[in-house]
Structure 1
Amino acid sequence: MPKFSSRQEPAAAVHRTSVVERGSFASARCTCGWKGPARRARDRARRDAQEHTAG
Structure 2
Amino acid sequence: MPQQDPSAGDPATHTTTTVERGSFAVARCTCGWSGPARRSRDRARTDARSHVPTRTS
Answer yes or no: is 1:10 the counterpart of 2:9: no
AA aligned to 1:16 is T
CA-atom RMSD in angstroms: 1.7
Query: Is the 8 Å Cα contact of residues 16 and 31 (structure 1) preserved in structure 2?
Result: yes
4+ residue segments displaced more than 2 Å: 8-13
Unaligned runs of 5+ in 2: none
What is the TM-score when the length of structure 1 is the normalising length?
Answer: 0.77
Q: Does 1:44 align with 2:40?
A: no
Aligned equivalents of 1:24 and 1:48: distance in 2? 17
Structure 1: unaligned runs, 5 residues or longer: none
2:20 aligned partner: 21
Normalised by the size of structure 2, how large is the TM-score?
0.74
Instruction: Give the total of aligned pairs.
Output: 49
